Amino acid sequence: MHPFLRLSVVLWLVACSPQVVGQNAVSVSPAISAPSQWEPDIARFEAQDRSYPPRLCSIVFVGSSSIRMWTTLDRDFPGVPVLNRGFGGSEAGDVAHFAERIAVRYKPPVVVFYAGDNDLAAGKTPTQVLAAFQSFVATMHRELPDTRVVFVSIKPSIARWNIVDKMRQANRLVRDYTRTDPRLVYVDVFTPMLDASGQPRRELYLEDGLHMTPAGYEIWRELIAPVIR
């Protein structure tokens, strides 16, 4: 385990006895929602929280459909309270915009962030992906200075192989940024998802060539588990 994450988890275990959102949540000012197609998704999370309050200090997974479709989080990380707050199709900027409502309010010791490939597919630049992630980090650390943020690298995919160079550049930019702060961790899922010829491994993808099979998620689980335990 990353040494700073080890300390974070120890402090989390001490500070976070079983609690639920609504009792001891971080107090944040109401978010002012910009016009967004994702507002219904975020409102749905909030409605779920009111009906079934999640445990505070869970490790929160945020991001686009690769997170939303990770339906086995509880089984994949046994003994670790986890919360899925992915909303499919979102870009890194969307995740940053809603950071207080999908991450801060749960007081997570660790946030796992995956987004960026939708941004690049929509024509945004690698630098814009970096800036969106930096915005997310700034919000997290303004409200929760000790929270660790894990960036899962943009994955390669068959459907978007035409923008692989932009993916690599965005990953390099974010990787270098994470090295500037011990509270940030970069997890490379890009490399192990390639075959010996440097192409995406077909068995890791659904028929759409974009989303992952259980074999793809198993790679992610193996790489993420050591940095959140």
The token pair that represents 184 in the structure block:
């940030």
Residues 77-134 pLDDT 10s: 999 999 999 998 899 999 999 999 999 999 999 999 999 999 999 999 999 999 999 9
Nearest Cα to Cα of residue 214 among 71, 88, 79? 71
pLDDT for 20: 57
126-143 and 164-178 helices, crossing angle to 10°: 30
17-73: pLDDT as tens digits: 445 565 444 444 333 334 478 999 999 999 999 999 998 899 999 999 999 999 999
Lookup: tokens for 202: 């077909």
Confidence class for position 145, pLDDT limits 50, 70, 90? very high
**Structural domains in the chain?**
3-12+39-228 (3.40.50.1110)
- Close Cβ partners of 12 (under 8 Å, ≥ 6 residues apart): 57, 109
> Could you give the residue ranges of the DSSP H alpha helices within 38-89?
39-51, 65-68, 73-76
Name the pTM for this structure. 0.88
Residue 150, Cβ density class (10 Å: 0-12 exposed, 13-18 middle, ≥19 buried): buried
Supply the pLDDT for residue 88. 82
Least confident of 19-33, 122-136, 169-183, 188-202: 19-33
Three-state DSSP at 20 gives strand
Given this model, what pLDDT does residue 22 score?
A: 54
With 70 as the cut, is the pLDDT of residue 139 above it? yes
Q: Looking at residue 4, what is its pLDDT?
A: 46
Residue 49: the pLDDT is: 96
